[in-house]
Amino acid sequence: MPSPNQQIRPLTAQVNARGNLEIGGCDATDLVAAYGTPLYVLDEVTLRTACREYVETLKRVYPGEALAIYASKAWNMLALCALVHQEGLGIDVVSAGELVTALQAGVPADRVYLHGNNKSVEELTLALETGVTLVADNWWELHTLTELGVSLGTKPRILLRLTPGIECHTHEYIQTGHLDSKFGFDPTNLGDLFTFLEGNETLQAVGIHAHIGSQIFELQPHQDLARLLVEIYAKGLHFGLPFQELNVGGGLGISYTESDDPPAISTWVETVAAGVARACEALNLSYPKLICEPGRSIVGPAGVTLYRMGSQKVVPEVRSYVTIDGGMSDNPRPITYGARYTALVANKPEAAPTETVTVAGKHCESGDILLKDIQLPPTEAGDILAVFATGAYNYAMASNYNRLPRPAAVLVHDREATLVLKRETVMDLLRQDHLPERLT
């Protein structure tokens, strides 16, 4: 069985007896009739399968304690926080908004980690008041946390974010002395950092963290990272720091198109866990609590966006455009990163793909193209387009550009759809406006 992250479609996606695409036993045409378009659909089986592969592989291969935490910036909402918590994952958050959502979903504070390279004083205070662990990013944060800890009478529990100079690209990686990154401490100055923390009565530095990138398909950078982090971890222990946790970040890629070939979740976890375990054995260290932070590979493959197709335009000899009723506002990845996706006509999934078309959004930007030069059967206004692998960094990055209300989301499972995110309305947007009296 391939891992969820190795498949473009959710595990339950199939063509049903009515000849339509169904997900989680729910017919895509019924979903759009009930909930409208654009609609984000999340497949519960795919979500839970990905979570279990992380949790079970860690348990099977790592000799010490381990915890997978969902990097919720990929899609932070109550239902997802609650679901991954049910599967035994912790959560990482990067703002007060994400933090409050995780706690509100019932995730206990001791399984929540707050990241961020410029946390506000309000966010730091909230973290200390709620008792979550902070991933400290810079000296300003260490000084501020010390002051806040003293004034609130708490001992902030922190991991240290490091930028270990392992840089990843999709098909190559380079190792540099230190990395041009806005995140984390430069590992060339660890002596100063560890000395400061050793002499600091307020901060409890319980471990280290690094995250080297996202949508990564190679295993070697993570193997290198594991070894490097263990060496730094050992150095911290040597300075007398109360280290007990080692967090290797996330970054495992997923399949968006047929040409993507990421390793399985289990393979990635085996690589990281074995790398940390072997390095600890070589240095005669007891095993730290191993933490990893997958985001995209948990939620990406479970998501499908359903759109209604609209007008078409043929530019002879150049290009055929078909359009959808969403675009860069609900999925900014193509215009932001040139990201590629795979699509299917949900009400005729088995029709032969005989035409090369470009799927354009409805926004006032020529660059609002969701899929360029893909193969589809002949389509007409009213058809339903399903775009796969949209669970990660789609809703999370969505905007109201052109004053489009953001779509609804449903969780599908066993022929039932449950609304997990209400569709915004124009009234929701207008509610935030204020019209000064003198302009009326």
Ligand X SMILES: *Cc1c(COP(=O)(O)O)cnc(C)c1O
Q: Measured from the CB of residue 323, what is the shortest distance to ligand X in angstroms?
A: 30
Q: Identify the H or E element spanning 152.
A: helix 139-152
Residue 225 touching ligand X (CB under 6 A) = no
Residue 111 to residue 207: CA distance in whole angstroms = 15
Residue 85 touching ligand X (CB under 6 A) = no
When binding is defined by CB under 6 A, the residue of 111, 115, 362, 413 that contacts ligand X is 115
**Burial degree of 75 (CB within 10 A; 0-12, 13-18, 19+):** buried
Active site residue 280: no
- Stretch in the footprint of ligand X (CB under 6 A) among 8-16, 56-64, 70-78, 394-402: 70-78
- Stretch in the footprint of ligand X (CB under 6 A) among 24-32, 196-204, 235-243, 245-253: 245-253
| Helices 121-130 & 96-104 angle (0-180, nearest 10) | 20
Residue 271 touching ligand X (CB under 6 A) = no
When binding is defined by CB under 6 A, the residue of 275, 288, 295, 326 that contacts ligand X is 295
242, 203 Cβ separation under 8 angstroms: no
Listed in sequence order, the residues at least 6 apart from 440 whose beta carbon sits closer than 8 Å to its beta carbon are none
When binding is defined by CB under 6 A, the residue of 164, 184, 250, 301 that contacts ligand X is 250
Q: Measured from the CB of residue 91, what is the shortest distance to ligand X in angstroms?
A: 11
# residues near ligand X by CB under 6 A: 16
Residue 422 to residue 434: CA distance in whole angstroms = 23
384, 308 Cβ separation under 8 angstroms: yes
Of the pair 251, 349, the CB lying nearest ligand X is at: 251
Sign of CA dihedral 134, 138, 144, 150: positive
Residue 301 to residue 303: CA distance in whole angstroms = 6
- Stretch in the footprint of ligand X (CB under 6 A) among 6-14, 248-256, 302-310, 408-416: 248-256
Of the pair 288, 361, the CB lying nearest ligand X is at: 288
Q: Measured from the CB of residue 130, what is the shortest distance to ligand X in angstroms?
A: 19
Task: Using DSSP, state whether 49 is helix, strand or coil.
Answer: helix
Q: CA of 176: how far to CAs of 81, 164, 173, 221, 439, in Å?
A: 36, 9, 10, 12, 57
Of the pair 71, 160, the CB lying nearest ligand X is at: 71
Cis status of the peptide bond prior to 316, with omega within 30 of 0: no
Residue 293 touching ligand X (CB under 6 A) = yes
Residue 211 touching ligand X (CB under 6 A) = yes
Q: Measured from the CB of residue 74, what is the shortest distance to ligand X in angstroms?
A: 5
DSSP state, residue 257: S
When binding is defined by CB under 6 A, the residue of 73, 119, 222, 308 that contacts ligand X is 73
Q: Measured from the CB of residue 400, what is the shortest distance to ligand X in angstroms?
A: 23
Residue 303 touching ligand X (CB under 6 A) = no
DSSP state, residue 25: T
Task: Using DSSP, state whether 276 is helix, strand or coil.
Answer: helix
Task: Using DSSP, state whether 7 is helix, strand or coil.
Answer: coil
Q: Measured from the CB of residue 399, what is the shortest distance to ligand X in angstroms?
A: 19
- Stretch in the footprint of ligand X (CB under 6 A) among 12-20, 69-77, 142-150, 230-238: 69-77
Residues of span 126-165 touching ligand X by CB under 6 A: none
Residue 71 touching ligand X (CB under 6 A) = yes
Q: Measured from the CB of residue 348, what is the shortest distance to ligand X in angstroms?
A: 33
Closest of 170, 213, 165 to residue 185, by C-alpha: 165
Polymer length in residues for the chain: 440
How far separated are the first and last CA of the chain, in Å rounded? 64
- Stretch in the footprint of ligand X (CB under 6 A) among 34-42, 59-67, 150-158, 244-252: 244-252
Q: Which residues bind ligand X (CB under 6 A)?
A: 71, 73-74, 92, 115, 211, 214, 249-252, 293-297
Active site residues: 364
